[in-house]
A and B are shown apart, each in its own frame.
Chain A
Amino acid sequence: MTEAKVLNISKLNIKYKNSSNSSFIKDISFDIIKGEVITVIGESGSGKSTLAKALTGLLPPSAAVAGNLTISEVEDYVLPGTNTVWSAIRGTRITYVFQDAQQALNPILTVQQHFKETLLSKGINENEYLKISKQYLSFLNFSDIDRILSSYAFQLSGGMSQRVCIALAICTEPDLLIADEITSALDTVSQNDVIKLLRKARDQLGMSIMFITHDLKLAKDFSDRILVMHDGEIVERGAYQKLQSSATTALVRDMIGIIERQKKDNSQLQQISNIPSPQVLVEVNNIFKEFDNFQVLNNLSIEIYEKEIFGLFGESGCGKSTLAKILAGLQSYDSGQIFFLGEDFAEVSKKLKRKLYSKVQFVFQNERGCLNPRRKIIDIVQEPLRYLKLHAKDEMKDIAKKCLASVGIDEKYFSRRSPELSTGQCQRVALAKALVVNPRFLILDEITSALDIRTKYDILDLLINIFQREDIAMLMISHDLSALDYVCHRIGHMKNGKISRVFVGRERLGNTISDSKTLPY
């Protein structure tokens, strides 16, 4: 059976003018069939976003694009197209939705004005656009449409703005919707909502969807076909089942292996002692924090025990990063108390505070950004020792070396710099830098969210390894429930600046949390 092809791209090559001679995207050809969900998957830097942007002419002028684009089997274009060509394609044929919805909306326009400029550009008249906008907003399950229409982007939550963006993208009824990592800034519950809505758009409007992600698990059930990209090339293509049975590249086999392993739920956590010791390490009582008239933390209290990994999730903007920064002493709080090892943070002297804080370490999401590209790895790891003056000078290097080895960094990398390391290795170095001062409490802020699935589980395994070895408690913040699931003893759900519920015990995993019905959204 031959289905109608919405789009065909052949021999797509993209080169960046000021970089080296090799093409960034090499000879890519594929087509998209009407009503199909096609997923492009790959690690960061594999070229999947560049590919998608090339399909809408959204690349900056420094990218040299070559190739042929056929739309609906009749309209042939040679890339790079002219602006006239693109303005005929964009919106009507192909629309692109971005990862960060907050950034994708014009901060000074209301949602209604966004719809107006979109629909009027497509020849809808002034009288009708409002009706159409309401229709699409209700299609995307918004209930209080009038309030949404008069809102600005900063008044919407992450999930809501992403839904608004999708509504804006589909209200011109394009044939193909390109969704570029649109779920990766969202928590799992909003992620599921957005996926459901995309599916609804496909089923009811007959739209094709090109879904770009680094998360195979997300793509698995949702997509008809999967294209796996690596280094600017498509290395595997086919349905998930086909990839499962016949994938040849190690990368794809690994990704699939991890998903399947997870299904069986043989995570190593069971080896960790089941009951955390009842000794309280960090106690937070009634913390309040206000930013620009916005109550970020609102009467928040938690206790974290010694030898425990506590997970924390919640929508972006719910205050979880603020809490983490306060616990690490990077931010002040308005009122409340924090006890660490029984000492009140507010009471201790400045000198003692610094000593206390050396027992709290922090690892960030953007591991590469934390490592100075001009310094050697071994020096970076020694920095905290130097700052805190905990050891004699000649010992420092040995301690740093030992620490790097313990996080699985090979000796040959010690004198290299961060740009020469892979993302996973950078994250390991960041962990080593935190562990080198023997902290009692480690805060991990979204440390796995930029990683591809294989590296993610490597890092999670490393965390479990560290946990078993050291006398340490961890607070792990993530919007990725599967990662929390994998390592945490208890998982807290944060909402409106406080912990709304704590999930305890192993039986909750995979059942209660992932099922959005039980969540108080």
Chain B
Amino acid sequence: MGRLKVNKNPNLTIFLGIFILIMIVISCTFANAIAPFSPIEQNPVDRLKSPNLTHLMGTDQFGRDVFSRVLYGGRRTLVAALLATVVNTLLGTALGLIAGYYHGKLVDRIIMRIVDCLVAFPFIVLAMIITSLFGTGLVHLLIAIAIVWWIPFARLSRSVTLKYKEEPEILAAKVAGASDVIIMIRELLPRIFSPAFILATFKLGSLILSMSALSFFGLGAKPPTPEWGSMLSDSKAYFFQAPYLIIGICIFIFFTVLSLNLIGEGLRDKLDPFEIIEI
């Protein structure tokens, strides 16, 4: 590793992140071509084998190849997390923009009151309540996500809007006769875009982590669909016997989230560099 260049070269960080992410996305998308075994076919002879050359990540309790299952499972997890993040980013950004633009007015007070009230629910607790009442499963997990996950985006977009609202360029557009909607879309939204994008990369990562944690406790997707979360909860019982089951999935989760974090860090360093005097 020698010299650490995490932030001195944001481009390198971003490149590394994108590279890892693309590798993971490709291998999950083309799982049927890449995966050496079927993800669902059971093979009792080979059950709970440690990682070896044939089974890179070993086999599970039914003798299925963990590596193949991880590749297939990635699709579902990644698509669900991505979808949830996109929806929440759009929703949060729009609400934050409106709240910031009408700062102090009724609509701002209502939105911020909702934020204050939902902030009181730690995500895991909310997800637990919803999945316990409505039943476990990916859909209910996504509902829980939709309730609270837009809040950081709303906060961000509101504070960016407040920062730029009084800028001459915005006031100039107002004086020139632009309507509120035009100002929000043409002048303010482009400024929110990049910070919101950076936040979204971080949030996508932490969403994958939270979803996997909930699934691990049996609150996420249900077996037998190969999905990282459900695989985790299946493997829990065998942890002391076969820790590699969980390790294999965790390696994939780790690299996915790491790539997103690297992209986020790199982009932030690039767009928002700090210049301080050395003392």
**When A and B assemble into the complex, do they touch directly, with CB atoms less than 8 Å apart?**
yes
- Supposing A60-B276, A60-B277, A369-B167 touch, asked if A357 and B172 sit within 8 A by C-beta, the answer is no
Is A4's CB within 8 Å of the partner chain B?
A: no
Contact of A59 among B174, B178, B277, B279 (CB under 8 A): B277
Q: Which of A358, A362, A437 contacts B171 (CB 8 A)?
A: A362
Check if A387 sits within 8 Å of B168, measured CB to CB: no
- A362 adjacent to B177 (CB under 8 Å): no
Q: Are A369 and B177 CB-contacts (below 8 A) given A58-B277, A83-B279?
A: no
**Complex interface: chain A residues within 8 A of B54 (CB):** none
Q: How far is the CB of A114 from chain B (nearest CB, A)?
A: 17
A370 at the interface (CB under 8 A from B): yes
Q: Could you mark each residue 176-199 of chain B with 1 if its beta carbon is under 8 Å from any beta carbon of chain A, else 0?
A: 111100100000000000000000
Q: A357-B177, A387-B182 are in contact. Are A364 and B278 (CB under 8 A)?
A: no
Interface centre among A83, A371, A387 (most CB of B within 10 A): A387
Please name all residues of chain A whose beta carbon is closer than 8 Å to the beta carbon of B173 when the two chains form the complex. Answer: 383, 387
Question: Out of A62, A329, A388, A433, which one reaches B172, CB within 8 Å?
Answer: A433
**Docked pose: A83 CA to B277 CA in angstroms:** 10
CA distance A437 to B175 in the complex (A): 11
Residues of chain A lying within 8 A (CB to CB) of residue B167 = 369
Interface check B169, CB cutoff 8 A:
yes
Give a binary string over A359-395; 1 marks a CB under 8 Å from any B CB, 0 the rest: 0111011100111100000000001100110000000
Q: Bits for A437-449, please: 1 = Cβ < 8 Å to B, else 0.
A: 1000000000000
Interface residues on A, range: 20 to 34
The chain B residue with its CB closest to the CB of A373 is B169
Contact A330 B176 (CB under 8 A): no
| A61 part of interface (Cβ distance < 8 Å) | yes
B172 touches A387 (CB 8 A): no
Q: A372 and B169: CB pair below 8 A?
A: yes
Confirm or deny: B41 has a beta carbon within 8 angstroms of a beta carbon on chain A: no
A328 at the interface (CB under 8 A from B): yes
- Is the pair A330, B174 in contact by a Cβ cutoff of 8 Å? yes
Interface residue? A230 (CB, 8 A): no
Residue A354 at the chain B interface, CB threshold 8 Å: yes
A325 CB–B CB distance under 8 Å: yes
Nearest CB of B to A281, in Å = 17
Measured CA separation A437–B176 after assembly (Å): 9
Contact of B176 among A57, A325, A365, A433 (CB under 8 A): A433
- Cα A377 to Cα B101 in complex, Å, equals 27
B152 vs chain A, min Cβ distance (A): 27
Would you give the shortest CB distance from A117 to chain B, in whole angstroms?
13
Which secondary structure characterizes the binding site on chain B?
loop
**Complex interface: chain A residues within 8 A of B182 (CB):** 387
Please tell me if the beta carbons of A369 and B278 are within 8 angstroms of each other in the complex. no
Residues of B near A357 (CB, < 8 A) are 175, 177
Query: B272 contacts the other chain (Cβ, under 8 Å)?
Result: no
A362 engages B276 (CB within 8 Å): no
Specify which chain B residues have a CB less than 8 angstroms from the CB of A364 in the assembled complex. Answer: 168, 171-172
Chain A residues within 8 Å of B175, by CB: 328-330, 357, 360-362, 434
Tell me which residues across on chain A come within 8 A of B174, comparing CB atoms.
329-330
Q: Is A369 within 8 A of B168, CB to CB? A: yes
Residues of A within 8 A of B278 (CB): 61, 83
Residues of A within 8 A of B279 (CB): 83
* A60-B277, A61-B278, A62-B275 known; A370 vs B178 contact (CB < 8 Å): no
Within 8 A of A (CB), among B242-279: 275-279
A26 to chain B, nearest CB (A): 22
Contact with B along A314-325 (1 / 0, CB 8 A): 000000000001
Q: Which of B175, B182, B277, B278 has the most CB of A within 10 A?
A: B175
Residue of B nearest to A370 (CB): B172
Whole-angstrom distance between the alpha carbons of A463 and B178 in the complex? Answer: 25
Q: Which of B104-156 contact A (CB under 8 A)?
A: none
Which of B174, B176, B275, B279 has the most chain A CB within a 10 Å cutoff?
B176
Complex contact B178–A387 (CB within 8 A): yes
Please name all residues of chain A whose beta carbon is closer than 8 Å to the beta carbon of B277 when the two chains form the complex: 57-60
Query: Is the CB–CB distance between A354 and B177 below 8 Å?
Result: yes
Which residues on the A side are within 8 Å of B177 (C-beta)?
Answer: 354, 357-358, 384, 387-388, 437
Contact partner of A60 (CB less than 8 A), chosen from B168, B172, B275, is B275
Closest CB-CB distance, B209 to chain A, in whole Å? 34
State whether B178 touches A383 (Cβ < 8 A).
Answer: yes
A325 in contact with B276 (CB, 8 Å):
no
- How many angstroms between the C-alpha atoms of A298 and B176 in the bound complex? 29
Give the A-binding residues of B (Cβ under 8 A).
167-169, 171-179, 182, 275-279
Cross-chain pairs A/B with CB under 8 angstroms, 16 sampled: A58-B277, A61-B278, A361-B176, A362-B171, A362-B175, A364-B171, A369-B168, A370-B168, A370-B172, A371-B169, A383-B176, A384-B177, A387-B178, A387-B179, A388-B176, A433-B176
In the complex, given contacts A330-B174, A384-B176, A434-B175, what are 19 additional A-B residue pairs having Cβ atoms less than 8 angstroms apart? A60-B276, A60-B277, A61-B278, A325-B171, A330-B171, A354-B177, A357-B177, A358-B177, A360-B175, A361-B175, A361-B176, A362-B171, A362-B175, A369-B169, A370-B168, A383-B173, A430-B172, A437-B176, A437-B177
